[in-house]
Chain A
Amino acid sequence: MSTRASRLAGDRLLQTMSILVLALSLVALAALLYDIWSDGWYRLDWQFITSLPSRRAASAGIYPALVGSLYVLLVTAVLAVPLGIGAAVYLEEYGGGGRFARLIEINIANLAGVPSIIYGLLGLSLFVRAFQMGPSVLAGGSTLALLALPVVILSTREALRTVPMSAREGSYALGATQWQTIWHQVLPSALPGILTGLILAMSRAIGETAPLITIGALAYLDFAPSGLMSPFTVLPIQIYNWVSLPQPAFAENAAAGIIVLLVLLLTLNAVAVVLRDRFQKARQ
């Protein structure tokens, strides 16, 4: 039997080590942000955002990549959002634990664990080759939509589950059909949760690099995409391209590109928080 002092010492040791570990991960995050900011801040100006990439690091910009990212994100959202919400509504409101629903549930859980680069191989073979889309905005957006779909479905289901049963029962009691109940009662009150999940899924899509490289998105592009069938590049690929060049001046461009990417992500997440708050207030 250990003495009281030594027992409490062990207790303190565990607590200290845990706090140390958490502090270290905070330090790592701080180091990451500081490193990128100090490398890239002075490259950030309007010219950097509106210029085409160039072989001269000092005059290179991210315009085509930024526009490409927004185009691809738009296609991803248009495809993944209705499909994902539809699937989630089916599983949560209609599926009823049948064998079909259960099969789909296992399937979605597994899809969420497939490495993103595998989706790239699917996109390459299916969209780029078989459907002959080429390495276009449409092919890229479709590939990312497949990747985002499981995330959208899982988060939407989570949001639908928070709607109390009594809301549905009240609607049925007034003579509404199942779809009327879903459309007028369930979806509106689950909306803040759904939106938050959607923005989360989209912010993951905007940071994806590997699947788009795999489908053959270009690393160097001196024009912005102009339509669904345009070739494209995205911000993370542009960053990857600059990081892999040996000259330090390009690494600074990469850091500045990362700052832009992180600001985009931060904006998306801030929008999510504001939307959620507004809806919550509106409901109270």
Chain B
Amino acid sequence: MTRTSRRWTEWTIERALQACAAGSVLITVGIIGVLVFETVAFFREVPITDFLFGTVWTPQFSDAQFGVLPLVTGTLLVSAIAMAVALPAGLLSAIYLSEYAPARVRRVVKPVLEVLAGVPTVVYGYFALLFVTPLLQTVFPTLSSFNALSPGLVMGIMILPLVSSLSEDALHAVPTGLREGAYALGSTRMQTALRVVVPAAFSGISASFILAMSRAIGETMIVAIAAGQQPRLTGNPMSPVETMTAYIVQISMGDTPTGSIGYRTIFAVGMLLFVMTFTLNLASDWLRRRFREEYA
């Protein structure tokens, strides 16, 4: 090969690889473009204040109302239950794995957590509807067969590995010198873990919490299967609710003509979902970077 043709090949390959990388930006542009386009069309027909502050969501009734709040509260209710399980359990297992566990235990536990994280969400949905709900009904006879509680608990189990592994990374990154200092002052392992290591890893741990919240809000199949499809403004975990994601699934399973207002609702709801998760992801990323700087 001559020198110039070689240089030409190199240049072409580099440009082609650069195009692959640039393609990922197009995905983001596409997502935002599609959501904005359809959402703007939606808001031409429904005032934005009705959408954001309305308390009744009945887009398929003849007297259609487009208040998204019932879907938002449904989403937050299920996510809050999931967080109540995943955050304490995830943090505890992270503390244990990072500060206490012998290498042998870690070798067993970490793959199991990975398996939990790799189970398809439709499987968790099955488990919530046909195992956890009947189990809970033996304790709470008033629990309806679709409810917020059971998918919330199962979602918590699904998200636990995420919290655990990210928090463990954060705890692991705390310099050993801090631990040794605490031991030298006579602290026990628990005191060292809770008063020195956890506070030192605080921003890393909060980053994992926020990311978990974002994951919970965007989770779809568990709630579509086990939470019901009745948008209602309630804080009662025993009653059926509908989340934003479950609504999108419900409409997609039916025949909604393109360009109709019903078709546009899923994009407006999707836009809101995107804004919520995107904000949380940015916050989590910011915290994680700040944490990295602290110990750089």
Is the Cβ of A14 less than 8 Å from the Cβ of B122? no
Interface residues on B, range: 35 or more
- Which residues of chain B from 140 to 175 have a CB within 8 Å of any chain A CB? 157, 160
- Which residues of chain A from 1 to 22 have a CB within 8 Å of any chain B CB? 7-8, 10-11, 13-15, 17-19, 21-22
Apart from A178-B10, A265-B118: 16 A-B pairs, beta carbons within 8 A = A10-B188, A14-B193, A18-B95, A22-B96, A83-B20, A86-B21, A101-B21, A113-B277, A116-B218, A207-B121, A209-B122, A213-B253, A240-B125, A243-B225, A258-B123, A261-B123
Among A29-37, A45-53, A70-78, A160-168, the one that faces the other chain is A29-37
Q: Mark A225-250, 1 if CB is under 8 A from B, else 0.
A: 00000000000100110011000000
- From residue A34, how far is it (CB to closest CB) to chain B in Å? 9
Q: Which secondary structure dominates where chain B touches chain A? A: helix
Q: List 30 A-B contacts (CB under 8 A).
A: A18-B92, A25-B116, A29-B115, A32-B123, A35-B130, A83-B23, A86-B16, A87-B20, A87-B24, A91-B21, A94-B17, A104-B24, A113-B214, A117-B245, A118-B274, A120-B248, A121-B31, A122-B31, A146-B27, A179-B9, A206-B120, A208-B120, A209-B122, A210-B220, A210-B249, A213-B249, A214-B248, A243-B126, A254-B126, A262-B123
CB of A197 closer than 8 Å to a CB of B: no
CB of B137 closer than 8 Å to a CB of A: no
Chain A residues near B (Cβ < 8 Å): 7-8, 10-11, 13-15, 17-19, 21-22, 24-26, 28-29, 31-32, 35-36, 39, 82-84, 86-87, 89-91, 94-95, 101, 103-104, 107-111, 113-122, 124-126, 129, 146, 149-150, 153, 177-179, 203-204, 206-210, 213-216, 219, 236, 239-240, 243-244, 251, 254-255, 258, 261-262, 265, 269
Is the Cβ of A150 less than 8 Å from the Cβ of B121? no
Q: What CA separation (Å) do A206 and B28 show in the bound complex? A: 23
Is the Cβ of A121 less than 8 Å from the Cβ of B25? no
Among B48-56, B60-68, B265-273, the one that faces the other chain is B265-273
Q: Which secondary structure dominates where chain A touches chain B? A: helix
Query: Which listed residue (B30, B122, B217) contacts A239, Cβ 8 A?
Result: B122
Is the Cβ of B131 less than 8 Å from the Cβ of A107? no
CB of B109 closer than 8 Å to a CB of A: yes
Quick one: which of B21, B252, B273 has the most chain A CB within 10 A?
B21
Query: Which listed residue (A110, A236, A244) contacts B281, Cβ 8 A?
Result: A110
